Structures are given as structure tokens and as C-alpha cells.
Amino acid sequence: MTETSFTPSARRLPLGKLLLGATAGAIFALMLALLAGRAESGILAGLWSTLTGRDTHIAGEGSVIERIQRLQRLETVVFSMDKIVTGSKENALLPDFLAGDKLLLLVHGEVVAGIDFSHLQAGDVRVDRKDVHLRLPAPQIFTTRLDSAKSGERVVDVLHDLRRTMQAHCGVFRFGDDLKKGVQVVAEIAERSERTFIGDKSKVYNTARVEALELENLVETAVSTMISAEARKESRGAQSRDDYPERDDKNWMKHTLWYKEGNRLDYKPVHLRPLTVQTMEPKVRTY
């Protein structure tokens, strides 16, 4: 009996076919990655999220409108104007040079105009895949401040009352009744700040004008601080309330937003998962 052994020889693919297969595989993988990156939903979107760790999310019209409205307004024009106002009164019996009256007044003013984003409607925003089409509201004049006022509230008096009000009603340690009273008082001061005047009308190295403009900014800051502090029923960070001494993460783990238009409050959630740094769980501050 004769035994015969057989050893199979290894079959080698030509080098050209290997290169062609590798190239085709690379092209296929690249096309799959591009499709997955542009996908908004489905299996490809899930694959892209798994590979990159990022979710593909396209906000709807309602979300886009809400985010744009939070910008409040876009000031596109700020200009100063000078206008000469004339007037006359005639006398029916005597000549004008004897009994007539002439009036000549030079008025200086500043006008701020732009677009108010709070006027956006649902039909003004259209989301088309990753493109957002926006129809802006009509431009309007926001404020006009004339320098022709000869009387009114002194800037230093309003600023002094504002400072005393914030110290008395919204200091380091805060109380519910004081905050409620402070909301009323600071609203009255805000109205008074709109009736201020300055004696020096010059526009070069005029510290009085600078203080008047700073007062406007301070009033807005004071109003937003007072209203937000009164509405937040807890103690957290720089706010220590005697009537709400504990921190309330269940109801008040959110940012407070104050809008000058309508003098209203809104809130924004706190993002607890940063994109680039390690997450720090919120906890009570102790010393």
C-alpha cells in the first residue's frame, strides 16, 4: 500500500487587485462617513453619533425664534442731529417789527434705531435642513434723547437715591419684604432717570454727560438685579435670603434672564455637561 502526501500551495492575489480593493474600500468608508455626518436622523445619524460622540440635532422654527428673541434688539444706527426750530407770531394791527415775536431754538439730539427681535413671528423663520431663513421685522426708532432740556432731575440726586436703595433693599443679606419694597422704589427711580438733564451741553471731555449715560446703564442693572432677586425664592451664591435660607436645586437650578422690553423675566436651563472640561456635580457651598 502506497501513501501519497499532498501539500496545497498558497494562492497569491495580484498586487494590482489588492491596491484596487483597498482603494475601493477607502472610498466606500469615506462616502459612508460623509453621509453619516450630514444625516439628521436614522441609522446613519446614530452611527455618526457613536463614532464622534456628538449628537446631530437641528432645531425647529419655534426653538430658533425663541433664541433670536433673547437677543432683544439689534442697534444698527446711532447718530446725532442738530435742528434749528423757528417760529413767529404776527400782530394783526401793528407791524411785525413793533409787535411781532420771533423764536429761534437750536436743538441737539441723539437717535438710536434698529431692529427689535421680540417682534419676530412664527412665519418669519424657516428651517431648511441645516439652513435657517429669517425675515427681519421692520426697523424702528428705539430712543431719542434731546439735549434741549433746561430743567428736570439732577443726575447726582438720582444716582445717590439709586445707590441708597440698592444698599437698603438688595444688599448682601436680603429679606423678602425689603425686596418687594425695593422693586417699587427702583421702578420709581427708573422713571426719574428719564427726566434727568445736564447743564453742560458740550460733547468733548464732558464728565456730566458721561455720568448721565452711566446712570442709564446703572438703572437697568439695578432693576434687573432687584426684580430677579425678589423672584428667586432661595439662597444661592451671592444671594442670601432670610426667608428662604436653603438652596433649592429642584426649582431654581436655572439662569435668570431679565428683558427691558416689557420688564419681564425668563429662565434658561443650566447645562451640566460641558463640552471640553470634566463635569462638576453641583453641591452646596460650605466653609
Query: Looking at residue 285, what is its pLDDT?
Result: 74
Other beta carbons within 10 Å of 170: 22
Of the candidates 39, 59, 37, 55, the one whose C-alpha atom is nearest the C-alpha of residue 127 is 59
CA dist., res. 83 & res. 123, Å (int): 40
CA dist., res. 232 & res. 38, Å (int): 42
167 pLDDT higher than 70:
yes
Please name each of the domains of the chain with its CATH number. 60-148 (no CATH), 149-248 (1.20.58.100)
Residues 139/76, Cβ–Cβ less than 8 Å: yes
Query: Looking at residue 56, what is its pLDDT?
Result: 46
CA dist., res. 286 & res. 49, Å (int): 39
Query: Looking at residue 23, what is its pLDDT?
Result: 76
Query: Looking at residue 220, what is its pLDDT?
Result: 92
Digit-coded pLDDT (tens) for 144-159: 565 666 778 899 999 9
CA dist., res. 61 & res. 58, Å (int): 10
User: Higher model confidence: residue 6 or residue 246?
Assistant: 246
Degrees to nearest 5, angle at CA 213 with 207 and 218:
115
User: Higher model confidence: residue 85 or residue 170?
Assistant: 170
User: Higher model confidence: residue 87 or residue 157?
Assistant: 157
CA dist., res. 220 & res. 6, Å (int): 95
Query: Looking at residue 245, what is its pLDDT?
Result: 93
CA dist., res. 132 & res. 126, Å (int): 6
Q: Which three cell numbers stand for residue 23?
A: 482603494
List residues bridging with 125 in a β-sheet: 134
CA distances (Å), 99 to each of 85, 88, 94, 102, 105, in order? 21, 11, 6, 10, 20
Host H or E run for residue 194? none
**Full DSSP string of 198-227:** -S----SS-HHHHHHHHHHHHHHHHHHHHH
Of the candidates 268, 270, 287, 266, the one whose C-alpha atom is nearest the C-alpha of residue 279 is 270
73 pLDDT higher than 70:
no
**Full DSSP string of 75-87:** EEEEEEEEEEEEE
CA dist., res. 254 & res. 29, Å (int): 43
* Stretch among 28-32, 135-139, 205-209, 217-221 having the lowest mean pLDDT: 28-32
- pTM (two decimals): 0.54
Query: Looking at residue 226, what is its pLDDT?
Result: 96
Amino acid making up residue 245: P
Give the torsion sign (CA, 263, 269, 270, 274).
negative
User: Higher model confidence: residue 21 or residue 230?
Assistant: 230
186 pLDDT higher than 90:
yes
Q: Which three cell numbers stand for residue 165?
A: 436703595
Q: Which three cell numbers stand for residue 80?
A: 446725532
CA distances (Å), 83 to each of 108, 112, 120, in order? 7, 17, 34
Angle between helices 207-231 and 176-193 (to 10 degrees): 150
Amino acid making up residue 163: R
